[in-house]
């Protein structure tokens, strides 16, 4: 069997087909996460699994994010929706956990909580192509995908003083998306239903086009 040809460097083909149901219990009537009342004035980072990178992302922009861990925040104000970003490590198991949460979201399991997108953190300096491609495929079911690089020494040292550019671009994109939701109220929704790909060198757009733009690959997975 001839393996499929690799895509051109720094490109990602559009993937907008909804995810098929995963083998797990991803149904709207069977919660995959416990819920808790939350402040709708922050963007909450929700981990698809342990070690999903929520704390690291939170530390990159503490004025915007809040860390929900493995739980679903629900707004304490019925007039304002809580915005969340699902986070996962870009491993096989991490992507599978993210896939199950996205299927649950598609089934209506997150209720009025608004999903802005997903953030996938590279598990190593040079992530295998199959895992990078897997992140794109799984993330195509979300409103936006942010791919974040691996940070050397994070397990032993303090958080960096200078964050990789991908974290700054994620903050810009999340801030824009959350601002639209907060300005329009809980019924705000994207009209095109597509996915915006935002990589380490891609710039977020204020309004995504009907066809997703090519994702910039973060190459060495190190910003």
Tens-digit pLDDT profile for residues 10-66: 333 333 334 444 444 444 457 889 999 998 989 999 999 999 999 999 999 999 999
- Is residue 18 in a domain? no
Q: What CATH number should be reported for the domain holding residue 167?
A: 3.40.50
- Is residue 149 in a domain? yes
Residue 69's SS3 state is: strand
- The span from the CA of 135 to the CA of 24, in Å, is 19
- Is residue 100 in a domain? yes
- Is residue 41 in a domain? yes
Q: Whole-model pTM? A: 0.72
**Structural domain span for residue 159:** 35-198
Span between the terminal Cα atoms of the chain, in Å: 36
User: Over the range 165-183, which residues count as b (16 or more CB within 10 Å of their CB) and which as e?
Assistant: ebbebbbebbbebbeebbe
- Is residue 207 in a domain? no
- Is residue 96 in a domain? yes
74-119 pLDDT tens trace:
988 878 889 999 999 999 999 999 999 999 999 999 888 899 999 9
User: Binning pLDDT at 50, 70 and 90, where does residue 190 land?
Assistant: very low
Phi, psi (degrees; rounded to nearest 5) at 114 = -95, 125
97's CB contacts (< 8 A; 6+ apart) are: 48, 49, 88
- Is residue 105 in a domain? yes
User: Binning pLDDT at 50, 70 and 90, where does residue 130 land?
Assistant: very high
Count of CB atoms situated within 10 Å of the CB of 13: 13
- Is residue 5 in a domain? no
- Count of structural domains within the chain: 1
Q: Strand ranges (DSSP E) for the chain?
A: 35-38, 43-47, 65-69, 72-75, 83-89, 114-121, 144-148, 196-198
């Amino acid at each position: 069997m001839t393996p499929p040809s690799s895509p051109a460097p720094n490109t990602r083909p559009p993937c907008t087909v909804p995810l098929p149901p995963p083998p797990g219990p991803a149904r709207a009537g069977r919660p995959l996460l416990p819920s808790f009342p939350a402040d709708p004035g922050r963007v909450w980072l929700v981990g698809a699994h342990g070690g999903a990178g929520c704390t690291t992302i939170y530390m990159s922009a503490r004025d915007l994010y809040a860390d929900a861990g493995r739980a679903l925040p629900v707004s304490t104000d019925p007039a304002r929706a809580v915005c969340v970003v699902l986070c996962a490590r870009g491993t096989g198991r991490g992507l599978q956990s993210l896939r199950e949460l996205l299927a649950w979201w598609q089934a209506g399991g997150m209720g009025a909580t608004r999903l802005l997108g997903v953030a996938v953190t590279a598990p190593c300096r040079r992530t295998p192509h199959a895992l990078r491609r897997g992140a794109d495929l799984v993330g195509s079911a979300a409103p936006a995908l942010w791919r974040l690089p691996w940070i050397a020494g994070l397990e032993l040292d303090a958080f960096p003083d200078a964050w990789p550019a991908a974290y700054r671009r994620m903050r810009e994109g999340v801030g824009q998306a959350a601002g639209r939701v907060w300005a329009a109220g809980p019924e705000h929704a994207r009209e095109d239903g597509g996915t915006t790909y935002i990589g380490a060198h891609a710039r977020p757009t204020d309004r995504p086009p009907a066809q997703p733009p090519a994702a910039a690959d973060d190459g060495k997975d190190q910003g």
